[in-house]
Amino acid sequence: MNLSFYYWLGLVQSAIVVENATLTDNLVVKYYGKGDFVKRFRQVFGLALLIITVFLFLYGIGDLEKAEEVRLQRKNIEQIFQKNSDAYAWIRVEGTKINYPVLQHPTDDAYYLTHDAEGNETQYGAIFTEKVNQTSFEDPVTIIYGHAMRDDSMFGSLDYLAEPSTFESIQTVTITKDGKDFLYQIVAAYSFPDDHLYHTYGLGDLKQVESYVSLLEARADENGGFYRPFDFDVTRDKLLILSTCDVAGNERRFVVHAVRKGES
């Protein structure tokens, strides 16, 4: 919303404060006579309207800041997509610092372990998928990888979900692709041996996917993780797995599972 709207609203509200104070004063004088009561009533009434004016103005500023943040993020997304054709989507996880492009190298699955979204060599790497997955997010299971950096960048804040209170409060992963937001509900999070999930459990096969999903609750319990019940139709639903190294243990990974619930 345009800032000028709130500017003029503030002026109008200020004028109302003055005008209503005068009208209120006249009415009170008419029925109750002059005195300290009139003065006090006018002060309280005027103060209330002033508080409302300030609130509306600050609320408008908050809306503008949020809109500007969204605009800058969209611009950033467009710039990254223009610079690197490997970038094909954007991932956000509410309540964490995860807000990055998703990439897939056409020939080297390990490339983005050591390169950022602009192709620069770095220990931080980037957020990426492997060639076993399509970039459409229409596979039964899509796995997204990223390093767990100690400054919480990349997938470093994914382990927020290792805490019970955080698992309860953080429930949504958003994948933005081609102007659409795919919304996923987080259903499980736990530390697990460092297996290549896709190949180890044959997640390209629907029957294997069905078996894998049916054992999610048991795996979460066995590994001290968390789980929330969900329905899953292997012929229709889509499972998203976020996988990163587990900083708490060697040769283990921290994995978060989410099921697509809709799009906007």
Tens digits of per-residue pLDDT, 160-173? Answer: 999 999 999 999 99
Is 149:156 a contact under the CB 8 Å cutoff? Answer: yes
All structural domains of the chain with their residue ranges: 28-83, 85-260
* Residues 85-260, CATH architecture: Beta Barrel (2.40)
CA contacts within 13 A on the Cβ side of 179: 0
The whole-number average pLDDT for the span 119-140 is 98
- Residue 253 CA to residue 190 CA, distance in Å, equals 8
Question: Which residues are bridge partners to 226 per DSSP?
Answer: 189
CB 135 within 8 A of CB 81: no
pTM of structure: 0.75
Instruction: Indicate which residues carry an active-site annotation.
Output: 147, 245
Let me know: does 55 contact 22? Beta carbons within 8 Å: no
pLDDT in tens, 33-88: 555 655 665 677 677 777 877 665 566 665 677 677 666 666 777 888 899 999 99
Amino acid at 63: D
- Top-confidence residue, 219 or 36: 219
Q: pLDDT value at position 127? A: 99
More confident residue, 202 or 47: 202
Q: Residue 176: pLDDT band by 50, 70, 90 thresholds? A: very high
| Pair 161, 167: CB distance under 8 Å | yes
In percent, how much of the chain has pLDDT > 90?
Answer: 65
